Amino acid sequence: MKANEAMSMVNPSTDALMTKVESRYGLVVLAAKRARQLLDGEEIKSKRQSTKDVTNALEEIVEDKISYRISKESMK
């Protein structure tokens, strides 16, 4: 990314994000949960930081700074 290019919902790209999760639904849930954690005061793990919690959450996902697992109990 160029130094003067602003972060937005386009960065990181949807294509890059979809390589990190199994579905768009999973991406939305993961980003929302992480954004809530950031809003509640958790430290940002991403190298690039934005003023928007959702953008920071998406950056962390694409940089493999956070991960998730689906528990079998939640599928009952």
Q: What are 19-60's pLDDT values in tens digits?
A: 999 899 999 999 999 999 999 999 999 988 899 999 999 999
- State the average pLDDT over residues 5-31: 83
- pTM for the model stands at 0.78
Token pair 């697992």: residue = 69
Confidence (pLDDT) at 67: 82
- State the average pLDDT over residues 55-71: 90
Q: Given pLDDT bands bounded at 50, 70 and 90, which one contains residue 75?
A: low
Confidence (pLDDT) at 57: 96
Question: What Å distances lie between residue 65 and 4, 9, 44, 70, 75, CA to CA?
Answer: 24, 18, 10, 17, 25
Contacts of 66 (CB under 8 A, 6+ apart): 30, 34, 45, 57, 60
How many Cβ atoms are within 10 Å of 9's Cβ, its own excluded? Answer: 11
